[in-house]
């Protein structure tokens, strides 16, 4: 199976995909599975290479899977969710080339490392502000375990932390948390995470630590089996191409969405293309059946995360061998059109989006999507 030729995704592409028979079928199946109360909540990095379960899951996407948990409390405690997976990702080839070192994660972790080194970086806004507040460790494994512990305490759900090799989709279980985080099984001794005790040479002496078979509690076995099956399907579909497709992050679309319904359920053709989208979630509170509320602070956090792909593109524009080197469009997906325009205006107020929009091929798309169905969608004209 040869991947589609990359190109920026338009409003018409999204609308046609959403109105397709396959999208209707996927939406109906997703509802049926949700009603059975057998959903997973997948909280993964917004990175376009991250691979998540989607047929029976909710999705939350943030840089390094970090960020505030309390704005998502209603979803974290939803009765249809049986367990939560918190994942970070790494490049297996790079990890094997640097034994005894923590894996190199996404750019957000690199920024955290620069902050920890004391480099002079403006943290008043943008992705540096997000990294300074919500990325707790430059080590992706430590970051993941910490995020999972916080999630378990707040949700009361079983939570598993894992690291995913984005070249293959395979996962390594890092830790599990049950009984609101009071029962912990971890591949990393907890004292290794304490200040003054952290020693990556010991933690990564034999590669990325993982819970081996028999150490992971039974309640996570179905989840891990599904993750393994998903990776196997990808290998069957793409074979040796898979590694090259996942080596460098170069999406066709950057998404800011207030929906936890997986993108692939709503846009099946676009969503199944590996590496096609970088995504950031926007928390919202439902007031009633027709109205929602979004906090100003959450809007700012989401926009700060969008700064990462846009600023990287401005540095690497025109070189597809580099991350975000190809052109992409931005898609703001919300449940109220007015909310989409509010987000658009906040985004347009930033200097960096103004620089990005100087390229005439770059578009910002707003879509109102209710219950997985596009109600209206348009590319916004820029003056």
pLDDT score for 5: 55
End-to-end CA distance of the chain: 41
- CA-to-CA distance for 244 and 315, rounded, in angstroms? 22
Q: Which of 26, 121, 66 is nearest to 302 (CA)?
A: 66
pLDDT score for 107: 75
Token digits of residue 155 = 């949700």
Question: Could you tell me where the beta strands, DSSP code E, fall in the chain?
Answer: 39-45, 57-62, 81-90, 159-165, 171-178, 183-186, 253-257, 277-281, 285-286, 292-293, 329-334, 364-370, 373-380
Give the tens place of pLDDT for each residue, 330-376. Answer: 999 999 999 999 999 999 999 999 999 999 999 999 999 999 999 99
- Cβ–Cβ contacts within 10 Å for residue 103, how many? 23
| Arithmetic mean of pLDDT, 297-302 | 94
Helix (H, G, I), strand (E, B) or coil at 366: strand
Residue 11 and residue 367 in contact, taking contact as beta carbons nearer than 8 Å: yes
Residue 177 and residue 215 in contact, taking contact as beta carbons nearer than 8 Å: no
The bridge status of strand 292-293 relative to strand 285-286 is antiparallel
pLDDT score for 290: 66
**What percentage of the chain has pLDDT greater than the value 90?**
79
Domain boundaries, the chain: 1-36+250-383, 37-247
Q: Is the pTM of this model over 0.85?
A: yes
Give the tens place of pLDDT for each residue, 271-285. Answer: 999 999 999 999 988
Cβ burial of 346 (10 Å; 0-12, 13-18, 19+) is middle
- CA-to-CA distance for 256 and 258, rounded, in angstroms? 7
Tell me yes or no: is domain 37-247 CATH 3.30.70.
Answer: no
pLDDT confidence bin for 1, thresholds 50/70/90: very low
């Amino acid at each position: 199976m040869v991947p589609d030729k990359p190109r920026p995704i338009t409003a018409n592409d999204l609308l046609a995909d959403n109105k397709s028979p396959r999208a209707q079928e996927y939406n109906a199946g997703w509802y049926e599975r949700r009603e059975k109360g057998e959903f997973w909540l997948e909280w993964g990095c917004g990175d376009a290479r991250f691979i998540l379960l989607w047929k029976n899951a909710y999705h939350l996407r943030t840089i390094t899977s970090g960020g505030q948990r309390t704005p998502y409390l209603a979803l974290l405690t939803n009765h249809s969710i049986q367990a939560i997976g918190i994942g970070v990702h790494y490049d297996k080839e790079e990890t094997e080339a640097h034994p005894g070192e923590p894996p190199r994660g996404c750019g957000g972790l690199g920024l955290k490392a620069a902050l920890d080194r004391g480099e002079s970086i403006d943290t008043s806004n943008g992705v540096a502000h997000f990294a300074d507040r919500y990325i707790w460790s430059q080590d992706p494994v430590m970051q993941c375990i910490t995020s999972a512990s916080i999630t378990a305490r707040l949700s009361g759900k079983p939570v598993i932390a894992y690291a995913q090799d984005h070249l293959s989709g395979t996962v390594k279980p890092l830790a599990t948390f049950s009984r609101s985080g009071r029962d912990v099984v971890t591949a990393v001794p907890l004292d290794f995470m304490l200040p003054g005790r952290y020693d990556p040479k010991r933690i990564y002496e034999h590669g990325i630590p993982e819970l081996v078979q028999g150490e992971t509690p039974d309640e996570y076995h179905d989840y891990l089996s599904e993750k393994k099956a998903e990776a196997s399907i990808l290998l069957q579909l793409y074979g040796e191409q898979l590694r090259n497709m996942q080596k460098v992050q170069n999406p066709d679309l950057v998404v800011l969405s207030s929906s936890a319904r997986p993108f692939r359920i709503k846009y099946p053709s676009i969503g199944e293309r590996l590496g096609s989208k970088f995504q950031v979630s926007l928390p919202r509170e439902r007031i009633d059946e027709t109205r929602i509320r979004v906090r100003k602070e959450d809007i700012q956090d989401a926009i700060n995360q969008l700064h990462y792909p846009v600023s990287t593109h401005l540095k690497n524009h025109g070189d597809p061998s580099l991350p975000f080197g190809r052109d992409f469009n931005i898609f703001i997906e919300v449940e109220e059109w007015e909310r989409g325009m509010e987000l658009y205006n906040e985004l347009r107020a930033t200097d960096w989006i103004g620089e990005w929009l100087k390229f005439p091929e770059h578009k910002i798309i707003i879509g109102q999507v209710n219950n997985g169905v596009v109600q209206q969608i348009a590319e916004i004209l820029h003056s």
